[in-house]
Amino acid sequence: MPNAFLGLGSNLGEREYYLAEARRQLAAHPLIEIIRSSSRYETEPVGYLDQGLFLNQVLEIATALRPRELLLVTQGIENGLGRKRLIHWGPRVIDLDILLYGDSVLDTPELTLPHPRMYERRFVLAPLGEIAAEFVHPDGMTTREHLDALRQRGNTEKIRLFRG
């Protein structure tokens, strides 16, 4: 089964509950196995700034689902937990993003792999680096190299390990 990496985020309501419930539902799927989970990080919003702090985490999974099928599963979990898409990059109870799917490169209206903005976001690369620093991305760079490149570009995004 190919390995994929998922980004989880929440900034409404019981953030810890929503991340835990998303993990529970993913683990309960017969074609998904959670391999590793990063720590949880509290992060400032990006894009739309008038909202609360996010709780973010990255999971490594093994799955027999193809990328489009995995997208349907993640969207189903989001919808089941009450995700509303009212403001682009706005507040949400849960966000599940497919960051990487093996070495797949995909660009469709529904799904782009690797995730199109992951290399600009420390809140994605830091937890990904915690569990997969040496993972080689489709562009030939490791997660560690992408995180170093982000630092060199002067990214000032504030994140902190969540101890809640």
Any catalytic annotation for residue 92?
Answer: yes
Q: Structural domain tally of the chain?
A: 1
Q: For 10-25, what is each residue's pLDDT tens digit?
A: 999 999 999 999 999 9
Report pLDDT for 45.
84
CATH number of the domain enclosing 63: 3.30.70.560
Here the tokens at position 135 are: 């993972």
Cβ-contact 158, 133 below 8 angstroms? no
Any catalytic annotation for residue 40?
Answer: no
H or E element in which residue 43 lies = strand 41-43
Any catalytic annotation for residue 97?
Answer: yes
49 confidence band (pLDDT: 50, 70, 90):
low
Report pLDDT for 158.
85
Which among 40, 50, 68, 83 is annotated as catalytic? 83
114: region left, alpha or beta (phi > 0 left; psi from -120 to 50 alpha): beta
Average pLDDT of the chain, as a whole number: 93
Which among 15, 40, 85, 97 is annotated as catalytic? 97
Any catalytic annotation for residue 107?
Answer: no
Here the tokens at position 47 are: 């894009």
Q: For 59-82, what is each residue's pLDDT tens digit?
A: 999 999 999 999 999 999 999 998
Which among 15, 40, 92, 121 is annotated as catalytic? 92
Domain containing residue 120: 3-161
Share in percent of the chain as helix, strand, coil (round to 5): 30, 25, 40
The average pLDDT across 101-110 equals 96
30 confidence band (pLDDT: 50, 70, 90):
very high
Which among 15, 95, 121, 122 is annotated as catalytic? 95
Q: For 109-137, what is each residue's pLDDT tens digit?
A: 999 999 999 999 999 999 999 999 999 99
Cα 148 from Cα 145, distance rounded (Å) = 5
